[in-house]
Amino acid sequence: MKLTTKISAAAVGLLLLFSQIFSVWNLTQTQKMRMGSVLNSELTRLCTAANNFSEDFWQDHEYLQNEQGERFWGISRFRSKYGANAVLYYEEEELSNNSAYEFDLDYLKKHAEDLAELKKYMENSVWYGDDPAVIIGETGGRRLLISYMQAGNTKFGLLHYQDVTELYTEIRRMFLRGVVAMIVLAAILILVLSLIVRRILRPIRYLSGAAAKIAGGDYSVRVEERGRDEAAEVAKSFNEMVRQVEEHVQSLAATNEKQRRLLGALAHELKTPMTGIQGYAELLQRVELSKERQQEALGYIEQECKRLSRLSAKLLQLEELSGESEEEVRTEKKTLEVEKLFAETKALLHRRLAEKKLRFETEIAEGARTVEGDEDLLLSLLVNLADNAAKASDPGGMIRLTAAKEGIFVSDEGKGIPQEELAKITEPFYMVDKSRSRQAGGAGLGLALCDQIARLHGWSLKIESEPGKGTRAEVRFSGR
């Protein structure tokens, strides 16, 4: 059952319950009031008749010689003045019955109803003598209001009855009409409440539909934020949740794509040296070579093994750095001399510089002789930048390392990098000239490692280049 139907049914059910309780109470009160009115009329008439009968008796009693005379007088007077709904008693013995029923006076007196509850509904409920005996009985499918009263200080008593069947029937009809009206009203209320609740719950249906689309992978879905009620607040929170989920999914997708490219590139990079190593190893095992050819094959195997070792080391370093936070790196920072860092960089690149006869110049400005950072990471940063500059430089060229207040700069006079490639060169395994990079022993990981080291120090790495005029790598300090 839908929520709209549940709410509507519950509301209508409660309304009908309270309405029915009120209706029953109201009909009960109405019945008491109407019965009180009928009873008041009957008792007033009975009291009047009893008083008149008593007065007539005392006016004529001196002419009545004995009990037989009294009985005869009573029957005569009763039949001349009272209708078919009355019965005359003498010393509680029936004398004359004008009605179509037989009444048990002893039973009537023994089971007479308490009039105290009905008196508050009765007007002018004052009569002479004792309270009358009253009972409502049922016979032959008819309800009778029966009342008995003694006729003053005489031996006579009068019984009168009134058929009140129609009163009960009317009350029952009113109740049935009320039930039918309530059923019709309930149907109308269910329809109206369903429409109202459906409109109120419309934002929830929108949320449900949006959630289904999101479950299907559509994270661009948003729900409309209408008004300032709770539904609008839920819609706002839902949209914010979807936005964060979308950003998280996009971030995971980007990371997944990056890892996929990293693994693909790694597999490609490992394939080339491994193929060469396998080929030369098989050649050495199966073919007798001269010592010169053997040395050449072993030299190639050694060269490719070293290349694989460097590649593995850079990958491990890049992976370790990518998992560290800036807070963890700060605990290892200390004040370092820039001149010493430049000297160690030159020493580590001595062989590369000598092979291409490159000049290595340094320049340190006043106020930039020290830097705060991790010594191993900064040395790796400078070596990678300077090594890239050496690879890109022609024989006899120059590499310059400059330290200033705003940062450290590494520049060369090499071939330069096209503008459309600059945004990609810090991505792992990305190489502008893949054939030249492999020949020089590169794998496209150096600048990615440099960018990660700079970010972990709170710095930024920027590459500026122009084809034919060289490249300038800028490591800029934040806040300086």
Half-sphere exposure of 274 (CA within 13 A, CB side): 7
Would you say residue 431 has pLDDT above 60?
A: no
Distance CA 223, CA 233 (A): 11
Backbone φ, ψ for residue 427 (5° rounding): -80, 140
Would you say residue 409 has pLDDT above 90?
A: yes
Cα-based distances in Å from 192 to 1, 4, 7, 102, 206:
18, 11, 12, 58, 21
The rounded percent of the chain whose pLDDT value lies above 70 is 73
Name the most confidently modeled range: 155-159, 245-249, 423-427. 155-159
Helix (H, G, I), strand (E, B) or coil at 424: helix
**Per-residue pLDDT reduced to its tens digit, 75-93:** 888 888 887 889 999 988 9
Res 3: pLDDT: 56
Average pLDDT (309-336) is 57
Res 87: pLDDT: 92
The domains of the chain, with CATH numbers, are 3-177 (3.30.450), 327-476 (3.30.565.10)
Given a contact cutoff of 8 angstroms between Cβ atoms, the answer to whether 356 and 393 are in contact is: yes
Average pLDDT (181-185) is 79
Q: Which one, of 39, 67, 57, 219, lies nearest residue 124 by Cα?
A: 39
CB atoms within 10 A of CB 430: 18
Res 454: pLDDT: 84
Region at 410 (left for phi over 0; alpha for psi -120 to 50; beta for the rest): beta
Stretch among 4-18, 27-41, 141-155, 283-297 having the lowest mean pLDDT: 4-18
- Where would I find the beta strands (DSSP E) of 151-255? 156-163
Res 89: pLDDT: 92
Query: Which of residues 86 and 351 earns the better pLDDT score?
Result: 86
Average pLDDT (458-480) is 81
Would you say residue 60 has pLDDT above 80?
A: yes
Res 461: pLDDT: 86
Res 438: pLDDT: 43
Cα-based distances in Å from 229 to 201, 232, 242, 248, 258:
12, 5, 20, 29, 43
Distance CA 412, CA 116 (A): 119
Residue-averaged pLDDT of the chain: 77
**Per-residue pLDDT reduced to its tens digit, 326-342:** 444 443 678 889 899 89
Q: Which one, of 300, 306, 311, lies nearest residue 276 by Cα?
A: 300
**Per-residue pLDDT reduced to its tens digit, 359-371:** 999 999 988 899 8
Distance CA 49, CA 7 (A): 62
End-to-end CA distance of the chain: 67
DSSP 248-313: HHHHHHHHHHHHHHHHHHHHHHHHHHHHHHHHHHHHHHHS---HHHHHHHHHHHHHHHHHHHHHHH
DSSP 136-166: EEEETTEEEEEEEEE-TTSSEEEEEEEE-HH
Helix, strand and coil content of the chain, in percent to the nearest 5, comes to 60, 15, 25
